[in-house]
């Protein structure tokens, strides 16, 4: 079969890498792809948000299944467009993708179906939002309602910080239209975890546990990013807690979406805060996490293609996934300055050396080709992912890879996976 993967980041490189292992697949295309993906798939110069061009390409090439990586085309309705043309596609339609596209939509869903989360209120009026912060006090969390590439959430430790965040989002529009509305919610402390489940809108197939590191610097300091590293399994999610998450969060979410007339099909990401063994929802995403996809798919022994196809067809009857016993850790190598401004076009050395290391994969996220060299092109550039017999071994393996790769002003955290070791 022929498969088209939409996107060009680390998550898409990981999906292409995993899909390429399936005996069912003859050819993979990726739009737009990146230099790492180009080693496994034919890259097509069509942007992930060019939905009509992607549909025309899929029709012309008689693509059997399209797999959507990023959130933007999902919220734009790529699934609706492809399905209307009779094309098979993995991911939620436009109505269901609101679960990520609008924080207000997802919080209202949780409230309706008693899904545990932080107390909240949504605002379109700046003065009312400020008054609410004054009334609630700090710490408090301010979120741009729409998509902000993982950067639209501000955890404010003082009222002044919270009000400044509302000013930035609503008055200065630092996230554009995503900030026309804000969600202000109770601060939740505890330990974060990421939980993923495949679903066809009715049935659910949970994945192994994982944990992301959102802050840019060691010890969880500095601003939020799209993710600086991740590991799987996450010891905070015990077998017992795994079942609680499925029963009290994942199942009510999927059932609630169906009841509301927008059934959710694809991969559902639930960002969790866990305290005293009780999980609460921080956020939903309508796609694989990046960088969580890297360690999860490195650990997945099962063929992913039948699962993707079953979700797209509404026939997910498989009830388990086979996993490697090994642990996996992904360390993100970022451009110096990220998540703020950074220099692009800097040559990257050491990729050939890293490729020779057993049980290590370097997934390209923000790279490009320039005069024959691979250079940094985005904020998060590479996801260096190691497999090991334990989380400790996997951490060591990942950092062996990190140490042989270099470019000017490269930045990465030195403590990815430390929380797991502390357990």
Reported as a single tens digit per residue, the pLDDT across 88-120 is: 999 999 999 999 988 889 999 999 999 999 988
Q: Does some domain include residue 179?
A: yes
User: Whole-number mean pLDDT of the chain?
Assistant: 95
Q: Does some domain include residue 356?
A: yes
CB-based contact 89:79 (threshold 8 Å):
yes
| DSSP-derived secondary structure for 344-382 | ---B-B-HHHHHTSTTEEEEESSEEEETTEEEE-SSEEE
Q: Does some domain include residue 322?
A: no
CATH of the domain at 29: 3.40.50.20
Which of 95, 128, 152 is the endpoint of a domain? 95
Q: How many CA atoms lie within 13 A of 69 on its CB side?
A: 29
The residue length of the chain stands at 423
Q: Is the previous residue joined to 32 through a cis bond, with omega within 30 degrees of 0?
A: yes
Q: How many CB atoms lie within 10 A of CB 46?
A: 20
The span from the CA of 335 to the CA of 377, in Å, is 9
Both 201 and 231 in one domain: the answer is yes
> Phi and psi (nearest 5°) for 416?
-65, 130
Furthest C-alpha separation in the chain: 60
The span from the CA of 197 to the CA of 85, in Å, is 27
Domain ranges, residue 155: 119-186
Reported as a single tens digit per residue, the pLDDT across 16-34 is: 999 999 999 999 999 999 9
Give the pLDDT score at 139: 95
* H or E element in which residue 109 lies: helix 103-112
* Cα separation values, 389 from 179, 328, 329, Å: 44, 9, 11
Both 381 and 401 in one domain: the answer is yes
The three-class DSSP label of residue 409 is coil
Both 212 and 179 in one domain: the answer is no
* H or E element in which residue 204 lies: strand 204-206
Which of 95, 128, 146 is the endpoint of a domain? 95
Both 60 and 46 in one domain: the answer is yes
The closest alpha carbon to 279, from 327, 240, 319, belongs to: 240
Q: How many structural domains are present in the chain?
A: 4
Both 292 and 370 in one domain: the answer is no
Both 88 and 164 in one domain: the answer is no
CATH of the domain at 210: 3.30.470.20
CB-based contact 383:332 (threshold 8 Å):
yes
Give the pLDDT score at 82: 98
Both 199 and 306 in one domain: the answer is yes
Q: Does some domain include residue 43?
A: yes
Which of 147, 164, 186 is the endpoint of a domain? 186
Both 147 and 172 in one domain: the answer is yes
Both 131 and 44 in one domain: the answer is no
Through-space distance between the first and last CA atoms of the chain, rounded to whole angstroms: 44
Both 341 and 364 in one domain: the answer is yes
Tokens of residue 349, six digits: 């050395």
User: 405: which residues sit within 8 A by CB, 6+ positions away?
Assistant: 333, 348, 349, 350, 351, 353, 354, 362, 382, 384
Q: Does some domain include residue 103?
A: no
Give the pLDDT score at 394: 97
Both 287 and 370 in one domain: the answer is no
Q: Determine the distance from the C-alpha atom of residue 85 to the mean position of all C-alpha atoms in its chain, rounded to a whole number.
A: 28
Give the pLDDT score at 179: 82
The span from the CA of 71 to the CA of 307, in Å, is 20
Residue 65's beta-bridge partner residues? 3
Q: Does some domain include residue 52?
A: yes
The closest alpha carbon to 181, from 131, 146, 140, 136, belongs to: 146
Q: Does some domain include residue 104?
A: no
Both 172 and 196 in one domain: the answer is no
Strands 89-90 and 65-68: parallel
Q: Does some domain include residue 100?
A: no
CATH of the domain at 143: 3.30.1490.20
Tally of helices (H runs) and strands (E runs) in the chain: 15, 22
CATH of the domain at 366: 3.90.600.10
pLDDT by residue for the chain (423 residues), tens only, comes to: 999 999 999 999 999 999 999 999 999 999 999 999 999 999 999 999 999 999 999 999 999 999 999 999 999 999 999 999 999 999 999 999 999 988 889 999 999 999 999 988 899 999 999 999 999 999 999 989 888 776 788 889 999 999 999 999 999 898 888 888 898 999 999 998 999 999 999 999 999 999 999 999 999 999 888 899 999 999 999 999 999 999 999 999 999 999 999 999 999 999 999 999 999 999 999 999 999 999 999 999 999 999 999 999 999 998 889 999 999 999 999 999 999 999 999 999 999 999 999 999 999 999 999 999 999 999 999 999 999 999 999 999 999 999 999 999 999 999 999 988 887
Give the pLDDT score at 150: 65
CB-based contact 184:141 (threshold 8 Å):
yes
The span from the CA of 266 to the CA of 90, in Å, is 6
């Amino acid at each position: 079969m022929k498969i088209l993967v939409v996107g060009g980041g680390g998550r898409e490189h990981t999906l292409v890498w995993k899909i390429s292992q399936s005996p069912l697949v003859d050819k993979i295309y990726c739009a737009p792809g990146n230099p790492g993906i180009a080693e496994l798939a034919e890259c097509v110069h069509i942007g992930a948000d060019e939905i009509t061009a992607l549909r025309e390409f899929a029709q012309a090439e008689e693509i059997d299944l399209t797999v959507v990586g990023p959130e933007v085309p999902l919220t734009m309705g790529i699934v609706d467009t492809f399905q209307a043309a009779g094309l098979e596609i993995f991911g939620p339609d436009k109505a269901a993708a609101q679960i990520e596209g609008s924080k207000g939509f997802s919080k209202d869903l949780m409230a309706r179906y008693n899904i545990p989360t932080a107390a909240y209120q949504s605002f379109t009026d700046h003065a009312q939002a400020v008054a609410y912060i004054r009334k609630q006090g700090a710490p408090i969390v301010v979120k741009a309602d729409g998509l902000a590439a993982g950067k639209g959430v501000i955890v404010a430790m003082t009222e002044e910080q919270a009000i400044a965040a509302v000013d930035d989002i609503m008055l200065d529009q630092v996230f554009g239209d995503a900030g026309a509305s804000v969600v202000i919610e109770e601060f939740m402390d505890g330990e974060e975890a990421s939980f993923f489940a495949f679903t066809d809108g009715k049935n659910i197939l949970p994945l192994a546990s994982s944990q992301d590191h959102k802050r840019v610097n060691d010890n969880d300091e500095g601003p939020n990013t799209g993710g600086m590293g991740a590991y799987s399994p996450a010891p905070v999610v015990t077998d017992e807690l795994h079942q609680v998450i499925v029963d009290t969060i994942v199942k009510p979410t999927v059932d609630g979406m169906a009841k509301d007339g927008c059934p959710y099909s694809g991969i559902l990401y639930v960002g969790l805060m866990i305290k005293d063994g009780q999980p609460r929802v921080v956020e939903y995403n309508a796609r694989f996490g990046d960088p969580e996809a890297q360690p999860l798919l490195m650990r997945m022994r099962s063929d992913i293609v039948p699962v993707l196809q079953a979700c797209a067809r509404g026939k997910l009857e498989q009830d388990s996934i086979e996993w490697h016993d090994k642990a996996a850790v992904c360390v993100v190598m970022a451009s110096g300055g990220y998540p703020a401004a950074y220099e692009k076009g800097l040559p990257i050395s050491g990729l050939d050396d890293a490729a020779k290391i057993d049980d290590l994969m370097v997934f390209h996220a923000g790279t490009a080709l320039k005069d024959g060299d691979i250079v940094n092109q985005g904020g998060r550039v590479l996801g260096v992912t190691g497999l090991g017999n334990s989380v400790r071994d996997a951490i060591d393996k990942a950092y062996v890879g990190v140490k042989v790769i270099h470019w000017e002003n490269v930045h990465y955290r030195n403590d990815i996976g430390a929380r797991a070791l502390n357990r």
